[in-house]
């Protein structure tokens, strides 16, 4: 080892889902939306003046912030935007988790949470989900340096009620509580109304899932103006121009097209429920997903075996070789046609196994 390496911060990085170069595969491994973005996004791109790209973008991304604020009936001072919700969450770690006390988040959750903690030197403690993969509110009623909870959770897909989450928020007035709502548009309710009641609550959402813009990287946070102001102070100290001109305008267009947003979300939810019923017939069990994916385990066939068989067939799903969840597959809800092909393959494969 070179002498300079002794001073390098060494972390185990987050491993994203595989992005196969072959576009003919059925890609159900990274929870992307199977439908294109709003037609209004295409119109913005068609009309974009490339001469504008020689100029720096608006550091406040004001057009996008105002569109988000209007959609959620908020003041722009209550909205922060970043380059994907990952960027928003990373900025939140830098901004709010500096007490030296451990932050708390579930043991089975988005695997970037502990990576950020390691990168930024933030102590943390994971709180075990119960045997049904639900949060236990009492685990978050102890001294801490901050709390981060995804709802619905990933990879389980389970949604906690607003009442359960409010118990946690209310019992931690001295900590910032972040609710990561990346998948909330496929669920029943957001905790967003609670930001008017609790000044320590930050709600984070994304354009990657329900608005089909994973490739453009737009995330946002909503909370009281003081939280947003602190986030912006850190953002401008890190990189003032984090979002480009094109992204700001297509994000604005996508946020304003409520009709298309509802249409695609409803299609995904309908396909999700159809897929659940078909998987049950094949002997799968799963938590009752409130997201755009299903976290499924088969009664007889190991998840890793199914993962490999599906991949060989050109159907990509996600497998996690981790304690408690190593016999589950996370299956993104694609189009109805894609899910029919998935079910057809599983029927044929299991028929071969049974012989």
The answer, yes or no, to whether residue 1 has pLDDT greater than 70, is: no
3 confidence band (pLDDT: 50, 70, 90) = confident
Domain-wise residue ranges, the chain: 22-36+259-354, 39-256
Query: 9 exposed, middle or buried (CB, 10 Å; 0-12, 13-18, 19+)?
Result: exposed
Condensed to tens digits (0 to 9), the pLDDT of residues 47-64 reads 999 999 999 999 999 999
Q: Which CATH architecture fits 39-256?
A: 3-Layer(aba) Sandwich (3.40)
pLDDT reported for residue 10 = 85
- pTM comes to 0.95
Condensed to tens digits (0 to 9), the pLDDT of residues 5-55 reads 888 888 888 888 888 887 789 999 999 999 999 999 999 999 999 999 999
Condensed to tens digits (0 to 9), the pLDDT of residues 157-212 reads 999 999 999 999 999 999 999 999 999 999 999 999 999 999 999 999 999 999 99
Q: Which CATH architecture fits 22-36+259-354?
A: Alpha-Beta Complex (3.90)
pLDDT reported for residue 47 = 94
Condensed to tens digits (0 to 9), the pLDDT of residues 83-140 reads 999 999 999 999 999 999 999 999 999 999 999 999 999 999 999 999 999 999 999 9
pLDDT reported for residue 354 = 60
């Amino acid at each position: 080892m070179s002498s300079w390496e002794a001073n390098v911060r060494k972390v185990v990085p987050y491993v994203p889902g595989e992005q196969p170069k072959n576009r003919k595969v059925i890609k159900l491994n990274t929870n992307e939306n199977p439908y294109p973005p709003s037609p209004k996004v295409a119109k913005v791109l068609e009309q974009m003046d490339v001469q504008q790209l020689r100029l720096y973008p608006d550091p406040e991304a004001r057009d996008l912030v105002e569109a988000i604020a209007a959609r959620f009936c908020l003041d722009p001072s209550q909205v922060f935007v970043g380059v994907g919700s990952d960027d928003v969450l990373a900025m939140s770690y830098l901004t709010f988790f500096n007490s030296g006390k451990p932050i708390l988040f579930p043991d089975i959750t988005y695997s970037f949470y502990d990576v950020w903690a390691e990168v930024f030197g933030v102590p943390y403690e994971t709180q075990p989900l119960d045997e049904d993969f639900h949060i236990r509110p009492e685990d978050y009623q102890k001294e801490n340096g901050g709390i981060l909870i995804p709802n619905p959770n990933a990879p389980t897909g389970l949604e906690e009620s607003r009442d359960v989450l409010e118990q946690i928020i209310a019992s931690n007035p001295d900590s910032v509580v972040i609710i990561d709502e990346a998948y909330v548009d496929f669920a029943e309710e957001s905790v967003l109304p609670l930001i008017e009641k609790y000044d320590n609550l930050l709600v984070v959402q994304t354009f990657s899932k329900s608005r089909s813009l994973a490739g453009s990287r737009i995330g946002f946070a909503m909370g009281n103006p003081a939280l947003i102001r602190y986030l912006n102070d850190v953002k401008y100290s890190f990189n003032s121009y984090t979002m480009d001109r094109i992204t700001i305008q297509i994000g604005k267009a996508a946020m304003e097209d409520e009709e298309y947003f509802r249409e695609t979300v409803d299609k995904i939810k309908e396909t999700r429920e159809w897929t659940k019923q078909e998987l049950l017939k094949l002997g799968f069990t799963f938590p009752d997903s409130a997201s755009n994916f299903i976290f499924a385990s088969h009664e007889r066939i190991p998840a890793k075996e199914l993962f490999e068989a599906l991949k060989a067939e050109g159907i990509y799903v996600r497998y996690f070789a981790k304690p408690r969840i190593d016999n589950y597959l996370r299956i993104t809800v694609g189009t109805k046609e894609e899910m029919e092909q998935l079910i057809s393959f599983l029927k044929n494969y299991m028929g071969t196994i049974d012989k």
